[in-house]
Amino acid sequence: MKIIMLGAPGAGKGTQAKMIAEKYRVPHVSTGDIFRANIKNGTELGMEAKKYMDQGLLVPDELTVKILLDRVAQPDCADGYVLDGFPRNIPQAEVLDKALSELGEKIDYAIDVDVPDENIVRRMSGRRACLSCGATYHIEHIPPKKEGICDKCGQPLVLRDDDKPETVQNRLKVYHEQTQPLIDFYTAKGVLRTVDGTKSMEDVFASIVEILG
């Protein structure tokens, strides 16, 4: 079962991807994780990606696809995987499609976790992170025991630049321009399924399980 997760930044697709991976016993393949692993292991592809990341640039499509295909060719992906954060745009989707069809494979489901922009801005601006141990909280949904202090290590919590409303608005703009067309792309292939991402995490997951069977 090969699944792609779609949805705006902050829609909760990463959380759902992890839950799917756990339930169906397939790897959760996140492009961010693969990049970090390749950089940590000092691979040739990792070092190439690092050049771009160090400058705050997006890793080019061709390199991203190479790194991704290298990952899904590993034995643990033989029974399928959940792709999270890839493809980001139509060119990436086309390259992935071509590479999979050469292997006699295809994507089975593209699941779009649909959440209106205003919900995402509210959701993300409520996030707080501990820069010391990496723990994350939400002032409404997962508040720390003591306001502004990490439960785990006692360090101050911060609103990351990434989660500030103006940054979120910019990220959503990029998402709508680049990633939204993927919804039409996968609809045309007959594999797109949409779930209501405004529901609780458990309800969203139940909707996904219903689709996957």
Q: Which residues are catalytic?
A: 13, 88, 127, 160, 171
Strands 127-130 vs 136-138: parallel, antiparallel or unpaired? antiparallel
CA angle 25, 95, 174 (to 5 degrees): 85
Residues 6+ apart with CB under 8 A from 72: 29, 81
Q: What is the dihedral of CA 51, 57, 59, 62, to 10 degrees?
A: -110
Give the residue among 76, 69, 59 at the shortest CA–CA distance from 95.
Answer: 69
Give the residue among 2, 6, 3 at the shortest CA–CA distance from 184.
Answer: 6
